[in-house]
Each structure stands twice: as C-alpha cells, then as structure tokens.
Amino acid sequence: MEAITEGVNNINISESHKKNRIQVSNTKKPLFFYVNLAKRYMQQHNEVELSALGMGNMLFISLMHYLVISSFHKLAIATVVTVAEILKNNGLADERKIMTSTVDIKDDSRGRPVQKAKIEILLGKTANFDELMAAAAAEGGENGDVEENNA
C-alpha cells in the first residue's frame, strides 16, 4: 500500500494535459473563437498558453519575438501570433514567454518523420484585465466576448 501511495504522490502531470493550453489548428474556426476562448482561460487560470504546429516541412527563424516563416505553411502559427497580439493590444494580456522549436511528426504517407515548426506563447492577465472584462460585459458583450466587426 505504501508503494501505491508513493507512486500517486510522485505523479507528474504531463504537459500535454495542461488545462490552460489552447492548441490552434488549421481548422475553419474563426480567429475570434480563439481570442474569446483565451480570455475565458485567463479568467479561470490567470494565464493561457497558445500553441500551434506549422504544416509540413518548415524553415523558421526566431529573432526577438519575430518569426520569418514560409508563407504557405504558417496558418496555425500566424493565428496564435495574431490572437496574442489582439489580447496584448487590447490591454488584456502580457507576454510572459515565447518558445519555438521543431518537432518530428510521423508522416504515414511518406513513411518517415517530418519536421514541423512549433510555437508556444504564454500570456498572463494584466493588472486591469478584470476591469476591462467587466466594462466589456457592461457594454453588452456577454463575458467580454469580442465580435469580429469590433476589432
């Protein structure tokens, strides 16, 4: 019984199960779906991690928060960067950390691993986040949701 208790105490929750991570994909979801979801996550957890993988083989260079990316491979990564910028420009989020890497993904059609670019942006609530959200809710946007035509 002691071994079980020790094992439970030593469990390390995997990063893949973070409750405040939004994994952006190349789906047809509108940009403001991710903006509003990020705001809800920040309300619940005080910070949110936006994450995306690029498509196919990608060469990227990270220089002081700027990405130079092959234009036809950037959809999910560009969405993550845009969501982060919208939240920052509206005074809702502060940038805490930006991480870039490449990940090997098995490509079944080619039978070999393919490298994909990965970006993770950690955002935290600003000091006046709650104030701004309350003001937005009072103006009629329930939960402070941003409409596409207001951006």
22-61 residue pLDDT tens: 999 877 789 999 999 999 999 999 999 999 998 654 333 3
Share of the chain above pLDDT 90, in %: 52
- The number of beta carbons lying within 10 Å of the beta carbon of residue 73 is 19
CATH of domain 17-136: 3.30.110.20
**What pLDDT, on a 0 to 100 scale, did the predictor assign at position 25?**
84
Binning pLDDT at 50, 70 and 90, where does residue 17 land?
A: low
How far apart, in whole angstroms, are the C-alpha atoms of residue 105 and residue 135? 44
Say which amino acid occupies 8: V
**What pLDDT, on a 0 to 100 scale, did the predictor assign at position 74?**
59
**What pLDDT, on a 0 to 100 scale, did the predictor assign at position 109?**
82
How far apart, in whole angstroms, are the C-alpha atoms of residue 100 and residue 68? 12
CA angle (25 as vertex; 24, 31 as ends), nearest 5? 60
Write down the domain spans for the chain. 17-136
Binning pLDDT at 50, 70 and 90, where does residue 144 land?
A: low
DSSP 57: S
